[in-house]
Chains A and B, each alone.
Chain A
């Protein structure tokens, strides 16, 4: 028996399908230090696994299911907040960006940049709302494209590089760490739920702020 045969046998013994000659096994162990260490490690693993309790439904499973459902709802809300944020950002930034990257075709009085030829009020305020909303969407598109070019590409590059340099063959550690990790996730969900009055108020404050901005109030419901 060589080391490769031994390792295959050891794996089979862990899988519960071992059919190797015990004498041959012992002779190899007696002559090979590396495989002896391997055998001891496997013995420890068996002992550890035997002492693990069978899986039981986690505490607060029902709450967890409800939390997942709420999380999906929160995701939808988050998307809506993002859309609204884009519009709000549009209001604040559109004018600025337009100034930073000048391509204005607005007629101005020569010699005085601050005075413009103001046509009479002829268009209803709905046009202002529509246009600001449209500008907000345009800004959101621009921001998304810029973000895709930076964060998206970076994430893709880093995840690809990390994946290329790693391998996943050891689930023992993961299985050991899973119960405490699950407890922590549940505690985290409970804390998130506990802080909902604050997060809901933040969303409500944001909605009220947008409602108070006359050009946006009519379009809010359409988001």
Chain B
């Protein structure tokens, strides 16, 4: 346990921007601990997911994108849900950051579930999106930035992909 704050394997971790019906299903899980990754550079995942969770009367806990590993290391994560845009039997295109979660899930034997996103994003963001945060410059002038917004998550890191709703077996298929 982490300073008695959280029980082992109690946290559901969300990454990416999910379709709205995902939250109806999540609510049925009655989880007390739902953690949201902020989703740099746009923070859209943080904003959208927090708004939907609050609407569903779930109080989210926000973490920075670099804090997921800590939760895994302390055995606090029960399952991870990643929003995907396109999938096939080899894997899925997800918001950037999914691969780190896949690697963590594999190492710590934590399931990585994929649920549809409600949007399609560009593959690359603009440099200026990363050079500032909430409209404040964070990097020195002249610094270059590389801003991938999506990445390929291979099937070996995915436990299950859900197509529309997560609890109807006819609408879900397993690829690993």
Instruction: Tell whether A pairs with B.
Output: no
Contact surface of B with A, Cβ cutoff 8 Å: none
